[in-house]
């Protein structure tokens, strides 16, 4: 029996889930899309990412037995209030993709209807881009996908959701909202706050030293890359996870004070310990098998469905003696861009290939390799 799935919010994340389901389960699912943006809905219909598009949330909900809420977090919470006002005549699994789980799970536990089975979700992969055009069906490959069951969710419901998401090739992990929000606070939200603060510091100093940006070498760019992401999304994340971020900020200020003292006191040995401890921990981070980092040296290239396109990509790499060990067309439909997956042997070749193809104007994967 086919599943009727509604994706509310067809942006980067909702669009990627929709594409993944549509592409891998075409005959076993009917996909509905809801979004406030008509252009997004038109795009989703035009490229057959959804079977039917709704501008009315409740109309889409009535048709679905699985619902993904993939809107900004504060909107997701509002949509949950609307779901709470509906009466369901069949069991419905509702999940979300929000980067912060506490406020969403709090709302989930208030959902009255016994037919609503809420399972919190958070795919730990993304991009600095937004909107349906940036959506990719392989976005979550090799990334962790956090699931947070509410009290009514039983193993059979968890399995059903995992089954729908299995072709995302992500790794499911169950976490409580509290531990999720603290951990993502530490490794995702707080670093973002600091990255943006570093950019502000540079901007302030530029007034006095206009040449400053030209000296911004690789280090500054690496550490501030995430500051180029969507400000509305990150404001929402900071706000929803504010209690954890305030706590982390207090710890940070204390640590900065200690660092300041080390410098003032010329404590060279302690500074070396500080740097060596950080290096040891950073060097020991799992590299190839976790997070949004692909297991192999895979490169995803957007290509057009036109004669000779594949040949051009391969020739650019062959000219530079880059060996392709595996090649796969992940997703291509007539007259639209598709995704070419190239597997290379070494990390060095991967970096070189990225450079060559970027120089030739190709759009590469939104999955970050560093
Ligand atoms: N961007 C990222 O890297 C990641 C984002 N997330 C989560 O995914 C969710 C969505 O983020 P993105 O897909 O990045 O954003 P996006 O901006 O690409 O997509 C959001 C979509 O929601 C729609 N929308 C906004 N307000 C709406 C409303 N009132 N009613 C109906 N539709 C509405 C927009 O038109 C848009 O299509 C957020 O909750 C975020 O925390 C999770 C993992 C990664
Ligand atoms: O790791 C990051 O911070 C990213 O750049 C991608 C990302 C952004 C938001 C999420 O909720 C999950 C992953």
Q: Using CA atoms in the order 300, 302, 307, 310, what is the torsion angle rounded to 10 degrees?
A: -20
Q: How many A from CA of 47 to the centre of ligand 1?
A: 19
CA-closest candidate to residue 21, choices 63, 66, 57: 66
Lowest-confidence pick of 101-115, 161-175, 177-191, 286-300: 286-300
- Most confident stretch, 4-8, 282-286, 288-292: 4-8
- The pLDDT, as a whole number, for residue 256 is 98
Decide if 3-175 and 180-284 have a common fold: no
**Calpha distance 183→169 (Å, rounded):** 22
What are the helix (H) ranges across 47-189?
57-63, 73-84, 102-108, 155-165, 177-184
Residue 233 Cβ < 6 Å to ligand 1: yes
Residue nearest ligand 1's atom 2 by CA: 126
Residue 73 Cβ < 6 Å to ligand 1: yes
Contact yes or no for 65/4 (Cβ under 8 A):
yes
290 alpha carbon, closest ligand? 2
Label residue 292 by pLDDT band (50, 70, 90): very low
Model confidence over 130-149: pLDDT tens digits?
999 999 999 999 999 999 99
Which pair of tokens denotes residue 57?
A: 């949330």
CA-closest candidate to residue 367, choices 341, 344, 346: 341
CA-CA distances (angstroms) from residue 12 to 16, 135, 335?
Answer: 6, 5, 21
CB atoms within 10 A of CB 305: 13
Q: Is the model's pLDDT at 326 over the cut of 70? A: yes
Bridge partners of residue 5, in order along the sequence: 31, 66
Q: Which atom of ligand 1 has the smallest separation from the CA of 11?
A: 19
Q: How many A from CA of 184 to the centre of ligand 2?
A: 9
Q: Tokens 């509290």 — which residue?
A: 178
Residue nearest ligand 1's atom 40 by CA: 98
Ligand 2 pocket test, pick from 292, 293, 369 with the greatest ligand atom count within 8 Å of Cβ, gives 292
339 Cα distance to chain centroid:
18
Question: Ligand 2 — pocket residues by CB below 6 A?
Answer: 99, 124-126, 188, 226
Specify the fold of 3-175.
Rossmann fold (3.40.50)
Residue 127 Cβ < 6 Å to ligand 1: yes
Q: Is the model's pLDDT at 129 over the cut of 90? A: no
CA-closest candidate to residue 234, choices 226, 223, 246: 226
- The pLDDT, as a whole number, for residue 294 is 46
- The pLDDT, as a whole number, for residue 327 is 87
Residue 130 Cβ < 6 Å to ligand 1: yes
Helix-helix angle 268-283:242-264, to 10 degrees: 140
Model confidence over 67-126: pLDDT tens digits?
999 999 999 999 999 999 999 999 999 999 999 999 999 999 999 999 999 999 999 998
Averaged pLDDT for residues 320-336 = 74
**Calpha distance 309→303 (Å, rounded):** 7
Q: What is the largest CA-CA distance in the chain?
A: 71
ipTM: 0.98
- The pLDDT, as a whole number, for residue 279 is 95
Return phi, psi of residue 325, to 5°: -90, -20
Averaged pLDDT for residues 257-286 = 96
Lowest-confidence pick of 117-126, 153-162, 315-324: 315-324
298 versus 259: the higher-pLDDT residue is 259
- The pLDDT, as a whole number, for residue 304 is 79
Which pair of tokens denotes residue 280?
A: 């040891």
**Calpha distance 367→92 (Å, rounded):** 32
| CATH homologous superfamily for the domain 180-284 | 6-phosphogluconate dehydrogenase C-terminal like domain (1.10.3660.10)
Q: Which CATH class is domain 297-365?
A: alpha beta
- The pLDDT, as a whole number, for residue 267 is 97
- The pLDDT, as a whole number, for residue 323 is 86
Q: How many A from CA of 334 to the centre of ligand 1?
A: 28
Label residue 25 by pLDDT band (50, 70, 90): confident
Q: Is the model's pLDDT at 231 over the cut of 80? A: yes
- Most confident stretch, 31-40, 298-307, 326-335: 31-40
Contact yes or no for 75/49 (Cβ under 8 A):
no
**Calpha distance 105→177 (Å, rounded):** 7
Return phi, psi of residue 129, to 5°: -90, 170
Q: How many A from CA of 268 to the centre of ligand 1?
A: 47
Residue 97 Cβ < 6 Å to ligand 1: yes
1 versus 191: the higher-pLDDT residue is 191
225 alpha carbon, closest ligand? 2
Residue nearest ligand 2's atom 13 by CA: 125
**Calpha distance 44→347 (Å, rounded):** 35
37 alpha carbon, closest ligand? 1
List the chain domain ranges: 3-175, 180-284, 297-365
């Amino acid at each position: 029996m086919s599943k009727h799935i509604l994706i509310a919010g067809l942006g980067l994340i909702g669009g990627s889930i929709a594409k993944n389901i549509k592409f891998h389960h075409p005959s076993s699912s009917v996909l509905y899309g809801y979004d406030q943006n008509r252009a997004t809905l038109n795009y989703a219909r035009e490229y057959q990412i959804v079977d039917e598009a709704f501008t009315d949330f409740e109309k889409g909900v009535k048709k679905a037995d699985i619902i993904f809420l993939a809107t900004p977090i504060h909107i997701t919470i509002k949509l949950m209030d609307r779901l709470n006002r509906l009466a369901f005549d069949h069991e419905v699994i509702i999940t979300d993709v929000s980067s912060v789980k506490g406020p969403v799970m709090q709302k989930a536990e208030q959902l009255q209807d016994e037919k609503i089975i809420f399972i919190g979700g958070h795919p730990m992969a993304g991009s600095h881009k937004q909107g349906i055009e940036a959506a990719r069906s392989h976005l979550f490959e090799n990334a962790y996908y956090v699931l947070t069951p509410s009290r009514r969710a039983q193993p059979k419901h968890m399995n059903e959701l995992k089954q729908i998401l299995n072709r995302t090739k992500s790794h499911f992990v169950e976490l409580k909202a509290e531990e999720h929000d603290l951990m993502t606070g530490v490794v995702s939200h707080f670093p973002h706050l600091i990255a943006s603060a570093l950019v502000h510091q540079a901007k302030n100093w530029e007034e006095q030293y206009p040449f400053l940006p030209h000296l911004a070498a690789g280090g500054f760019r690496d550490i501030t890359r995430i500051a180029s992401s969507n400000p509305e999304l990150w404001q929402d994340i900071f706000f929803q996870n504010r209690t954890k971020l305030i706590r982390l900020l207090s710890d940070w200020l204390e640590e900065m004070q200690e660092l300041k003292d080390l410098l003032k006191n010329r404590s060279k040995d302690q500074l070396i310990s500080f740097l060596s401890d950080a290096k040891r921990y950073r060097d020991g981070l799992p590299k190839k098998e976790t997070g949004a980092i692909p297991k192999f040296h895979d490169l995803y290239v957007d290509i057009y469905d036109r004669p000779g396109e594949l040949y051009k990509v391969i020739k650019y790499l062959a000219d530079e003696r880059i060996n392709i060990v595996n090649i796969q067309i992940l997703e291509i439909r007539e007259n639209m861009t598709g995704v070419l997956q190239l597997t290379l042997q070494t990390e060095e070749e991967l970096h070189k290939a990225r450079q060559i193809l970027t120089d030739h104007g190709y759009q590469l994967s939104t999955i970050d390799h560093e």
